[in-house]
Amino acid sequence: MGLLCFCNISLDTCPDTVTSGESFNVQFLVTVMGNCENCIATCEVPNVFHSCILSTPNGVIPGPSIPIEQGITPVLAQVIIGDCPTEDITVIVTVRCLNEFGQVTCEDSAECVIQSCITP
């Protein structure tokens, strides 16, 4: 039995209020340790027309999904929503690691729930 893969994601900063059509940032911390390969972070904002671009300080090309290296990585989600929804806005970032056979060896997600949205 080899080393296991451990991954964890936690919410760092989450805005209380956002404005539709304007960019806002949500900060997450991703930890990847052990026998992990092919780790990818993805972003989603369910039930809202949106754009979500992930980036890290280590020079990875920003995008809707980005590779995550070993260690602790701050991940910034830059989000723009089209219109304020009637329900809360939830920004979900998921980290998923796969082995060489494409099987998930580790998966975790964290979310930022925003209750207030302003239409300019």
For residue range 88-112, what is the model confidence (pLDDT) as tens digits? 999 999 999 998 888 999 999 999 9
Q: What is the pTM of this model?
A: 0.92
Please list, residue by residue across 6-42, b when 16 or more beta carbons sit within 10 angstroms of its beta carbon and e when fewer do: ebebeeeebeeebbbeeebebebebbbeeebeebebb
- List pLDDT tens digits, range 8-65: 999 999 999 999 999 999 999 999 999 888 999 999 999 898 999 999 998 899 999 9
> What CATH number has the domain spanning 5-113?
2.60.40.10
